[in-house]
Amino acid sequence: MHALDILGDPVRRRLLELLADGERSAGDVGEVVQREFGISQPAVSQHLRVLRESGFTTVRPEGTRRLYALDPRALAQADAWFDPFRRFWQPRLDALGTELARGRRERRRAAASENQIDDTTAPKEN
């Protein structure tokens, strides 16, 4: 199965989001996904199996629990698939970054000039 087929499913994307913060038990992530998507525990287990078999996650047993972790190698493969298309959005993202930086700089300058005005209008202490 292609990485984008795996990532195309909202339940699997949510499972990966939950695992992005670190290793979690199948029960922990299952509880969240069951509540958010209204699916059964066996359905969650199936999604976890797909993620594991496709290399997006690793699993290790700890007693009766199964601890899942994100495996970044599969995400890197999906990211590589996007490389030929980055030219379509990267310049816009770069321009957005420039505009955000410009806005922060202007706000800092405005705050600094307000502080200078406040300092010059405030009565001086002896």
Going by pLDDT thresholds of 50, 70 and 90, the confidence category of residue 125 is low
Asked if residue 125 is part of any domain, the answer here is no
Asked if residue 22 is part of any domain, the answer here is yes
Asked if residue 16 is part of any domain, the answer here is yes
Q: Say what percent of the chain tops pLDDT 70.
A: 92
Asked if residue 126 is part of any domain, the answer here is no
Q: What is the CATH number of the domain that holds 27?
A: 1.10.10.10
Question: Six-digit token pair at 32?
Answer: 């969240």
Q: What is the pLDDT of residues 8-63, one digit of tens each?
A: 999 999 999 999 999 999 999 999 999 999 999 999 999 999 999 999 999 999 99
DSSP calls for 94-113: HHHHHHHHHHHHHHHHHHHH
Total number of domains constituting the chain:
1
The parent domain of residue 112 ranges over 1-120
